């Protein structure tokens, strides 16, 4: 007993308890009063254990925080704060969340759009000069929405960028006085991805989604199995909230 008593007076030192209590209190205050700032800061601090980005974003959305998707014309490397639609800020997800994208490539992209935003994928390709692989990862993450392109459309357009290497031969022909034939590719209609496929692609490339929760696609099957949603636990049988 004396050994246990001695350890009990030291097992959780006062200095450790006091410092942790201060961090916990400050974090709780920030999350309560400035949930948008809290989310942005903690996303930029990942990985740090406990909760992943998907859980943090969902919780913030339930508390009224507006979260905006990754975009080549809007996102920096880190998550940032933008003017929100309502009171407070909106959190813009950063390029660091896109799996496989290097910070150096993101820096080139952000620096190249300082004077003018990108209009097309060709415009971005010519001005930024990053590899096709990085662009494919951005397209797979659905980061070209501001260019009016869906995920599949962006992937398709990036797939033909290797043909731009033929510009070297076109320049040689120009010096020799021979005009190179123009390559004209007709537009290809692409089938739209289902909402479920979009959600799966979001998780595969970002690790989270701003679209419906994956369980929402299974709700009918769960209801047939007799499963009760968490929201039902907070209401009594007459529909009034449970205090």
pLDDT per position as a tens digit, 47-74: 887 889 999 999 999 999 999 999 999 9
Compare 237 and 125 and report the one with higher pLDDT.
125
Q: What is the mean pLDDT of residues 198-226?
A: 93
Highest mean pLDDT among 8-17, 43-52, 159-168, 172-181: 43-52
**Greatest C-alpha distance within the chain:** 97
Q: Beta-strand (E) ranges in the chain?
A: 66-68, 80-83, 89-92
Per-residue pLDDT, averaged over 188-193, amounts to 82
* Contact criterion met (CB below 8 Å) for 136 and 121: no
Burial class of residue 232 (count of CB atoms within 10 Å of its CB; 0-12, 13-18, 19+): exposed
Average pLDDT estimate for 158-184: 55
What is the spatial distance between Cα 88 and Cα 143, in angstroms, rounded to a whole number? 24
**Token duo for residue 213:** 């929760």
219 or 170, greater pLDDT: 219
Report the 10 Å Cβ neighbour count for 144. Answer: 26
Asked if 139 and 155 count as a contact pair (C-beta separation under 8 A), the reply is yes
- Give the number of C-alpha atoms closer than 13 A to the C-alpha of residue 202, restricted to the C-beta side: 20
Contact yes or no for 152/78 (Cβ under 8 A): no
Give the mean model confidence (pLDDT) for residues 103-126.
Answer: 94
The token pair at 202 is 């979001």
pLDDT of residue 180: 42
**Angle between helix 121-128 and 103-112 (nearest 10):** 110
Residue 171 has pLDDT above 60, yes or no: no
- pTM comes to 0.79
Show Cβ contacts of residue 100 under 8 Å, excluding neighbours closer than 6 positions.
Answer: 133, 134, 137
Report d(CA 159, CA 18) in Å as an integer.
Answer: 56
């Amino acid at each position: 007993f004396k050994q246990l008593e001695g350890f009990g007076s030291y097992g959780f030192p006062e200095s450790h308890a006091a410092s942790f209590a201060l961090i916990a209190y400050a974090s709780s205050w920030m999350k309560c009063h400035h949930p948008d700032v809290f989310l942005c800061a903690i996303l930029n601090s990942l990985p740090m254990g406990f909760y992943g980005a998907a859980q943090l974003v969902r919780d913030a959305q339930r508390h009224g925080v507006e979260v905006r998707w990754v975009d080549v014309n809007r996102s920096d490397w880190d998550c940032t704060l933008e003017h929100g639609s309502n009171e407070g800020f909106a959190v813009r997800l950063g390029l660091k969340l896109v799996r496989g994208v290097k910070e150096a490539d993101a820096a080139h992209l952000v620096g190249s759009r300082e004077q003018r935003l990108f209009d097309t994928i060709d415009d971005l390709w010519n001005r930024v000069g990053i590899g096709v692989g990085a662009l494919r990862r951005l397209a797979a993450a659905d980061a070209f929405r501001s260019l009016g392109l869906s995920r599949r459309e962006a992937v398709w357009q990036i797939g033909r960028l290797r043909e731009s290497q033929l510009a070297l031969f076109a320049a040689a022909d120009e010096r020799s006085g021979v005009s190179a034939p123009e390559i004209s590719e007709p537009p290809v209609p692409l089938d739209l991805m289902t909402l479920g496929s979009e959600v799966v692609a979001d998780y595969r490339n970002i690790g989270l989604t701003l679209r419906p929760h994956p369980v929402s696609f299974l709700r009918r099957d769960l209801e047939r199995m007799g499963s009760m949603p968490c929201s039902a636990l907070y209401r009594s049988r007459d529909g009034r909230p449970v205090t």
